[in-house]
Each structure stands twice: as structure tokens, then as C-alpha cells.
Structure 1
Amino acid sequence: MNLTAIVIVAIVCWAIVELVNGPKGKKKDKTSNEQAALNKELQSEIKTMRERIETLEKIVTDEKYDLNRQFDELKKDKVA
């Protein structure tokens, strides 16, 4: 084989590899964009849930909440 044939074969092989790998590279970018969007969505959902949990903790630790619970328990004891 002469040098020209080797170069032509190398170029053809390189072109085939690029054609095969080309769409996969674009697909990875699309997947990473989708994952980034999902990540942001989940982070905002976690932030919302943390705020709700903080509110619930404030309600549960409030003295009035405990007092109302105790009154409810006394009412249940009177009925029974």
C-alpha cells in the first residue's frame, strides 16, 4: 500500500467514527440540559417544603397548640 491509500483509509475511518459519535454527543448535551432543569425544579420544591416544615414546627412548638391539645384530651376523657 502506498502512503496515499493509507491517508485515504484513515480519513474515511475518521469520517465514519465522527458520523457514528456525532449524534451521541448532541444527545448528551440535551440530556444534561434536561437534568439541569430537573435539578433546579427539585431544588425549588425542596426549598418550598423546608418553608412548610418550618411553619409546621412553629405551630407544633407553640404553647397555644400544646394547650389546645391538652384541652382536647380532657374533653375525650370526660366523654369516655
Structure 2
Amino acid sequence: MNLTAIAIIAIIAWAVVSIVETTKDKKKKQQESKNSGELQNQIAQLKERIEVLEKIVTDENYDLKKQFSNLDKDKVA
């Protein structure tokens, strides 16, 4: 085998490795993008739930019901 053949084989091997790595990088970026979208969706849902909980807790009727519940517990004890 001469030096030219070795050089050609090395170039072809380098090209194949580069193509494989590029394909892996693209798949990894797609997966990260998908995960990022899912996380943003979950964050939006959690924000909505927190808003609902804040409305419930800051409602005057909720506090009143809680006070009545505490009074009932004191009567039993």
C-alpha cells in the first residue's frame, strides 16, 4: 500500500466520523428543544395553579371558614 492510498483512506474515515458526529449533534439539539418546550409548558401550568391557589387563600370567605373550623376543633378538645 502506498502513501496516497493511506491518505485517501484517512480522509474518507475522517469524513464518515464527521458526518456521524453532525447527525448526533442534530438529534441532540432536537431533543433539547423538545425538552425545553415541555418544561416551558409545565412552568406555565404551574403558574396557573399558583394563581388559583393565591385567589383561594386570599379570599375572605376562605379565612372565615378556616376560623370556624378552628373554633370547631377547640370545642371538641
Into which bin does the TM-score normalised by the smaller protein fall? 0.7 to 0.9
Whole-angstrom CA distance in 1 between matches of 2:41 and 2:8? 49
> CA RMSD of the aligned region, Å?
1.7
Tell me the matched-pair count: 76
Whole-angstrom CA distance in 1 between matches of 2:62 and 2:26? 52
Whole-angstrom CA distance in 2 between matches of 1:20 and 1:48? 42
**Identity in percent:** 42
TM-score (norm 2): 0.85
Aligned residue in 2 for 1:24? 21
Whole-angstrom CA distance in 2 between matches of 1:65 and 1:11? 79
Whole-angstrom CA distance in 2 between matches of 1:7 and 1:44? 56
Aligned residue in 2 for 1:48? 45
Q: CA deviation at 1:10?
A: 4.2
- The letter for the 2-side match of 1:42 is L
Whole-angstrom CA distance in 1 between matches of 2:59 and 2:74? 23
1:35-76: CA deviations, max 9, x gaps? 101110110111011000010011001111011000000000
1:1-26: CA deviations, max 9, x gaps? xxxx7766544322211112211110
Q: Identify unmatched segments of 5+ residues in structure 2.
A: none
Q: Identify unmatched segments of 5+ residues in structure 1.
A: none
